[in-house]
Structure 1
């Protein structure tokens, strides 16, 4: 095998996101439920005859050397060399980038996770799912979730994952047109860090009584983002007419759950032209799960 084509890197939503405290090292203690979506970037991997790792697609504002895709590939290449004593062939990586940066959808982390899973297969590296998760964590706290491969209740800094059942539904997502820097949200004096911890059965019990998350949890980062970035607040206000609209991650994207694709299309038909928006079906597992 010399190539892998059309490898999906799905988006994620944070169905809720609670900030429970902050560790001595400055990292925030979180609880969230990650939801995979049937919508995301797509990557192609083609082995080279030398050892170079190259991104052959331009991404505005992301230099190749700083791209998580390239950094993940080089990290895995070094790990294979350490384990086997043989340097694997280099690779050309092409990406069809559709997820916005600074959107809270996990795009860069998902791209990196897909890179680790695909190259683990292409290089016959033989790393386990957990080994890939451990390898990816220093690059980004969301990367282990995508390698985990299923919707998850997450704690700690986002790395402690347990599988969880989530609603079978569709989502409408609005891109408000601003990029929200995660650091600006977590460093804001507006952020509270004292939401009482919950347990996973609280979430599961809620879903046993209704099909969606209406009335359950919140995003503790949302009031900070809406204060600093008014377009986020505007999108939430508009979408709230059609469901329990909330922000994902540290922003900027906003979503609400709907029962089916017909309902999603109905909301999108009324969407103001000033916003990019789309629909996506909830995924139960990552499309590349079978690779591991």
Structure 2
């Protein structure tokens, strides 16, 4: 008798798997729950012993403090604008570059791609000084384009799209050329539609990358009215006193767009990450 296939063994494995998933869910969800609960309490209540586990009545005051101290409504619009424009522009650049590396054969292609991949291992902090000097020479300091433009050709985004585009059958592209498609039309009408899952994964990654970016916007943005959410929340931390209730309220609000984008595109995100991973 095969014990591994018996109903009792299957139930035991199912119970073990369910228990493991429940523990993992609790580990992930509890910090988010406490984040929301902390947003409804004052700093004194947050650091009380024992800490509060149920929502309080300080949310309105925290939101008022957040708006008065950091112009949070304007900051939220800044982040949405910068992240959206960056996502669209960077997706175009990364997709075109990935298509070029995957489809075209030219001298030095592998060496150029390898050089590009070095960007994945070089710390971003290494480029901060030269990028800052470049933005200063262009008189772009304090502007949105200084935040958006330097990282459009993101190495990981190009790598992701190159791997996905590599799965396109060469016969499909050759058929399009034989039918009279120009290279741009071939890209838009033939190559791009099958890449929708990969594009969704790329869009999520780019949006979250820009939405959470802190160091570069902190360096180039000068006016509090132009700050992004991470910079604005960091500005609320004072030397003598910090309103953690307001910070937790702002963090809770900042997490909503990220969660909405991921939940809306999670299936495409998983499919896009797996695209090109297995070659037939």
TM range, smaller chain: under 0.3
* Rg comparison, structure with higher value: 2
Per the normalisation by structure 2, the TM-score is: 0.22
Which structure is higher in RCO with an 8 Å CA cutoff and minimum separation 6?
Answer: 2
Judging by fraction of residues, say which structure has more helix.
2
Bigger share in strand = 1
